[in-house]
Chains A and B, each alone.
Chain A
């Protein structure tokens, strides 16, 4: 019998040549160290070429015409939908001449934010009543908080938050208290964009379903870095963005269970989502077109398909394992620098995201990030669109290093060296980093 074994280690050097931008210098001869992948990833040549090829050879509008280009772009666009379907293991339907989509459950949006707003507006307005409860967590990105606050404002519902432990894990025992018969929806991220925490979404989904609630998973930080299986997870909705997973900006995905999507009214009205319009009213199109009003992000979707091919060839298990290594090393390196406080749990609970501050408050996150830039190191500083989370941990800003398949252990070591230099640096070093020549 074969024993299960870890995925073979991934060698990032094999992939780096595919990413033209990783070869560039910043500040006269300083190589770029790109550690801002949770904000947006870089793209390999294969994805850039897929965009160029679509524009140079196949571009037309989708689902609109009968000419050759129109047929070709339809095939590419629906091919991308099929690629996404397989990527998240959504059920496959038979396509037909009338509806070329191989799944009714994958909707192209402009990004995860659009996807979540679609659910909040369409499902939310139709299903949430005064006094109903929407359960989120204290670690959510603003894009998975504000749409629910807005829904609560419109409907008179109440938003509740699953609290966090001091380590940055969800306090799951609070679910007994927080999941009530008034809970209509639970919205939770699979991976925190600041803490890096990998949340036990399957358990949350099971318990939410037991309480009769619908669950939306914000997969913006998980889909690019680990395998996603919506059927095994049993989530009702899942949202993610193309630009964090080697794809272009401007395209995202909403997965929804068919029975829910069928019952939901259209979100935006316009061309493309219509079966019939009369002077009296309109009849919306079937899924997934019902939720794709206007000209969709055609070429970004086609390029996302190429990104999924690339991720598939590397292997998501291998990517996850590689990022665990990088996270582990980052924790070690930050510890050896000393004086740093990591906001978030131990590496075994984390994806490839490490946020930290100097425990004394000085230098501040902004000063650190500007200082690191002099070393070519790109990190994010600020609240990363999670102000409630930062308040919870008593900091106004953190520095965040976030990884992807092309990052190396040597880059993590460089981060450590630069942070050690920042720790020793005189005040003037931080000012001169901000000076304009």
Chain B
């Protein structure tokens, strides 16, 4: 294994075992959650975006494989304090490069889960009850 790959692995392990900003965002204004239907990995992002479009705080929470969780942790660190515009410019390819290890196509989905959630979260102001929109099971629940 090349030295840089070894370093990439060590770095991923650090993010997995000592994640950056894993938890709840105290003054959350935007949030989104999604899962990878293939394997059940779940990532929720909570952001505080101010009127100038700065991501003042970014937190994640989730459950799943080492790749999905470590990638979310890296992403959160990168965009803590960044601008919404920076998020919009950050492509899937950029995310895979940030992760730093070449992944099989199936596992790229794990790496990209938090990226996908972030791209949606910036457009998803929190609902008044803090819950995510879900198609109701009954007409009563829809009201």
- A-side interface residues toward B, CB under 8 Å? 130, 149, 152-153, 156-159, 361, 363-367, 369-370, 381-383, 390, 395-398, 427-428, 430-431, 434-437
Select B13's contact among A390, A427, A436, beta carbons within 8 Å: A427
A-binding segment of B23-31, B86-94, B135-143: B135-143
> Contact at B64–A431, with CB atoms within 8 Å?
no
**B74 → chain A, closest Cβ, in Å?**
14
Q: How near does chain B come to A52, taking the closest CB pair, in angstroms?
A: 32
Name 5 extra pairs, CB < 8 A, besides A156-B139, A431-B67, A436-B103: A395-B63, A431-B12, A434-B101, A434-B110, A435-B101
Bound-state CA distance A212–B75 (Å) is 56
Q: A152-B139, A366-B65, A427-B66 are in contact. Are A435 and B104 (CB under 8 A)?
A: yes
Task: Verify if B16 is at the interface (C-beta below 8 Å from A).
Answer: yes
Task: Please choose the segment from B38-46, B48-56, B125-133 that sits at the chain A interface, where 4 or more of its residues have CB less than 8 A away.
Answer: B38-46
CB proximity of A357 to chain B, nearest CB, Å: 10
26 contacts between A and B (CB under 8 A): A149-B137, A149-B138, A153-B135, A153-B136, A153-B142, A159-B138, A364-B63, A366-B65, A382-B38, A383-B35, A390-B40, A396-B35, A396-B64, A397-B40, A397-B64, A427-B13, A427-B16, A431-B12, A431-B13, A431-B66, A434-B101, A434-B104, A434-B110, A436-B104, A436-B107, A437-B102
CB-CB under 8 A from B101, the residues of chain A are: 431, 434-435
Check A434/B39 contact, CB under 8 A, given A149-B137, A366-B110, A428-B9: no
Contacts A431-B12, A434-B104; A382 near B137 (Cβ below 8 A): no
For residue A382, which residues in chain B have a CB less than 8 angstroms away from its CB?
36-40
Q: Decide: A159 near B40, CB < 8 A? Known: A361-B63, A364-B64.
A: no
A381–B35 Cα distance when bound, in Å, is 13
Which residue from B35, B138, B142 sits with its C-beta under 8 Å from A157? Answer: B138
| Contact residue among B66, B102, B137 (Cβ-Cβ distance under 8 Å from A367) | B66
- Chain A residue with the shortest CB-CB distance to B42: A396
CB contacts (< 8 Å) of B136 on chain A: these are 153
Residues from chain B with Cβ under 8 Å of A381 in the complex: 39-40
Report how far A149 CA is from B105 CA in the complex, Å.
34
Instruction: Give CA–CA (A80, B35) in the complex, Å.
Output: 40
The closest CB in chain B to the CB of A368 belongs to: B65
Alpha-carbon gap, A361 to B103, bound state (A): 23
CB of B9 within 8 A of CB of A366, answer no
Report how far A141 CA is from B142 CA in the complex, Å.
23
Instruction: State whether B40 touches A363 (Cβ < 8 A).
Output: no
List, in ascending order, chain A residues with CB within 8 A of B64's CB.
Answer: 364-366, 396-397
- Among A158, A381, A435, max chain B CB count under 10 A is at A435
Q: What chain B residues lie within 8 Å of A435 (beta carbons)?
A: 101-104
Q: Give bound CA distance, A390 to B17, whole Å.
A: 25
B35 cross-chain contacts in A, Cβ below 8 A: 383, 396
Residues of A within 8 A of B13 (CB): 427-428, 431
Query: Within the assembled complex, what's the spacing in Å between the Cα atoms of A431 and B42?
Result: 18
Q: How far does the Cβ of B18 sit from chain A's closest Cβ, in whole Å?
A: 12
Report A-chain residues with C-beta under 8 Å of the C-beta of B110: 366, 434
Q: How far is the CA of A436 from the CA of B36 in the complex (A)?
A: 19
Complexed CA–CA distance, A364 and B12 (Å): 16
Residues 77-136 of B contacting A (Cβ, < 8 Å): 101-105, 107, 110, 135-136
Contact A153 B107 (CB under 8 A): no
For B12, the chain A residues whose CB sits under 8 A away are 431
User: In the complex, what's the smallest C-beta–C-beta distance from A232 to chain B, in angstroms?
Assistant: 33
Q: Out of B16, B17, B39, B138, which one reaches A369, CB within 8 Å?
A: B39
Question: Which residues of chain A come closer than 8 Å to B105, judged between CB atoms?
Answer: 436
Which chain B positions have C-beta within 8 A of A395?
Answer: 63
Whether A366 contacts B39 by the Cβ 8 Å rule is yes
Residue numbers in B under 8 Å from A149 (CB-CB): 135, 137-138
Q: Measured between alpha carbons, how far is A158 from B135 in the docked complex, in Å?
A: 14
Contact call A366/B103, Cβ cutoff below 8 A: no
B67 touches A365 (CB 8 A): no
**In the complex, A370 Cα to B105 Cα: how many Å?**
13
* Smallest CB separation, B8 vs chain A (Å): 9
From B105, which residue of chain A is reached at the shortest CB distance? A436
Q: Which residues of B lie under 8 Å from residue A397 when comparing CB positions?
A: 39-41, 63-64
Chain B residues within an 8 Å CB radius of A157: 138
Write the nearest CB–CB distance from B24 to chain A, whole angstroms.
Answer: 17
Decide if B137 touches A365 in the complex (CB within 8 Å): no
Query: Are B16 and A367 in touch, CB under 8 angstroms?
Result: no
Q: How far is the CA of A72 from the CA of B38 in the complex (A)?
A: 42
Distance between A423 CB and nearest chain B CB, rounded to angstroms: 15
Residues of A within 8 A of B66 (CB): 363-364, 367, 427, 430-431
CB distance from B64 to the nearest CB of A (A): 5
Q: How far is the CA of A156 from the CA of B136 in the complex (A)?
A: 11
Give the distance to chain B from A364, nearest Cβ to Cβ, in Å: 5
Partner of B40, one of A158, A383, A431: A383
Q: Which chain B positions have C-beta within 8 A of A390?
A: 40
Shortest 6 CB-CB distances between A and B: which pairs?
A: A397-B40, A366-B65, A382-B40, A366-B39, A434-B107, A149-B137
**Shortest Cβ distance from residue A380 to the other chain B in the assembled complex, whole angstroms:** 9
**In the complex the two chains form, what is the Cα distance from A390 to B37 in whole Å?**
13
